[in-house]
Amino acid sequence: MSRAIETLENYMFVRRSLSLHINTMIKDMPLGHRQLTIMRWLDRNGEMNLKTLALYTYTDPATITRSVQQMIRQGLVEKVKSKDDGRQWMVRLSKKGQKYTPAIKKVYEDVAKIFIEGLSKSEQEQFSALLEKVGNSLEKKFSGE
């Protein structure tokens, strides 16, 4: 097996393990993993249009639209007209959605700690730099640059 395939399989294992752990942590919340991610971005950035939200969450626009519609029905987010362009719709956390932000932050903090706890400080910095480098390379490759 090539080193590249082995690395990819290791990445997929780590990603799946973290995803399963996150799902266990949020089992008592009325949220799925994707909704958790959407709410995290809305909490960090305020109201956003769906196109930008899709970019930030690395999710295709159709999936974002379906997820946000479900979250509107759940009362977790609300749709509002843009202050800058009245033709554009934005989404933001509702009061009900804002009640979950402390728990969401805790999930992210706990998972981030678990993710790097086996690494020294210098390994954490190196790992972060390598992930950023791989991410940038993938972005260039898939954006057609």
Could you list the residue range(s) of the whole structural domain that residue 43 is in?
A: 32-97
Better pLDDT: 70 or 138: 70
CATH code at 67? 1.10.10.10
Does the residue 60 lie in any domain? Answer: yes
- With respect to residue 76, please indicate whether it lies within any of the assigned structural domains: yes
Q: Examine residue 77 and state whether it is found in any structural domain, yes or no.
A: yes
**pLDDT at res. 115:** 85
Q: Look at residue 7 and tell me if it is in a domain.
A: no
Determine, yes or no, domain membership for 144: no
Q: Tens digit of pLDDT for each residue in 86-111?
A: 778 999 999 999 999 999 999 999 99
Residue 117 reports pLDDT greater than 70: yes
pTM of the model: 0.81
Greatest alpha-carbon pair distance for the chain in Å reads 55
Residue with the larger pLDDT of the pair 139 and 144: 139
Q: How far apart are CA 145 and CA 91, in angstroms?
A: 31
Work out the average pLDDT over 112-121. 90
Give tens-digit pLDDT for 45-66: 999 999 999 988 888 999 999 9
Average pLDDT along the chain? 90
Residue 65 lies inside a defined structural domain of this protein? yes
Q: How far is CA 89 from CA 47, 72, 83, 114, in A?
A: 10, 13, 9, 37
Domain count for the chain, please give it. Answer: 1
